[in-house]
Amino acid sequence: MSTFEGIGQTLLAADHQTNYFDLGQGKPLFLLHGSGPGVSGWTNWKGVMPDLAEQFRVIVPDIAGFGFTEFKEQNKYDIKLWVRHLIGIMDALGIEKASFVGNSFGGALSLGLATFDPSRVERLVLLGTPAGEFEQTPGLRSAWEYEPSLENMEHAMRLFPHDQTIITAEMVESRYKASARPGAQDALRKLLPKPNAEGPTIVKGFPEHVVAKIDAPTLVLHGREDQVVPPSCGQLLARAIPNADLHLFGRCGHWVQTERRTEFLQLVRHFCR
């Protein structure tokens, strides 16, 4: 194991050396991370990976440019590259079709795959996923403005959950160490929209008319108190996707899988079984 927790196995996908975890047996279930300083598949999903691996083959990759997967200065990182990378991971692992649990950016990537290559998607679970257009929130803005330090990491993390007591010193230190790797924050800024100096910055997710064409059975999970991606995004997805159900968690922010872990596991196990 590396000095950094969160480094698992390596494969080549879309010409990127890709860090991933692969555990359990059964139907393939991908867990796709969000964006932000120090983010990786491990930091997003380590609290639920072993539980889901009791029932599924759980694959947790770091998407191109994020976490411990290669970042290439000359590349244009956009949804087309990220979808191509995700398909490359599936092909490298010999997985034709899978279900996808996507958190925030990972939910947007899941929507991208379901749009560009629906044959690869069994089911979708979308947590705090952006859709339509909305004003950039302080949580999203903080990811771009972040400068690595323990204090700044704790400040940024406090914008995400409703109940801030769930943030532990260990969580802050783990994310900080990953964010402080040389070049990590510079790379992250190239993957995120730069906030406008004056006035609101508009964040654009997949529009309603695009997601309305997704056929895959979809479970939309959103925190009612989500201050990072507004609950209206989850409502748009549930309204537009023909085979979608919505579960809105009260007293919950952007980290459904952490803040409402027990209910999250029950819902995903039942839906993806």
Whether 254 is a known active-site residue: answer: yes
User: What residues pair up with 19 in beta bridges, in sequence order?
Assistant: 10
**DSSP-derived 3-state class of residue 107:** helix
Q: Which residues pair with 30 in a beta bridge?
A: 59, 100
226 is catalytic: yes
DSSP letters for 63-82? PTTSTTS---TT---SHHHH
Q: Of the residues 35, 99, 174, 226, which is catalytic?
A: 226
Helices (H), 59-183: 79-92, 105-116, 138-145, 150-157, 169-179
Instruction: Give the phi and the psi of residue 173 in degrees, each rounded to 5.
Output: -65, -40
- Give backbone dihedrals phi and psi of 112, rounded to 5 degrees, phi first: -60, -45
| Residue from 35, 99, 104, 110 carrying the catalytic annotation | 104
- CA dist 87 and 97 (Å) reads 10
Instruction: Identify the burial level of 215 via C-beta atoms within 10 angstroms of its C-beta, where 0-12 means exposed, 13-18 middle and 19 or more buried.
Output: exposed
In the chain, the amino acid numbered 8 is G
* 3-state class (DSSP) for residue 99: strand
Give the other-Cβ count within 10 Å of 46's Cβ. 16
Strand partners, 32: 102
Longest dimension (CA), the chain: 50
- Rounded CA-CA distance 273/270 in Å is 5
Catalytic residue among 16, 85, 162, 254: 254
List, by residue number, the catalytic residues.
104, 226, 254
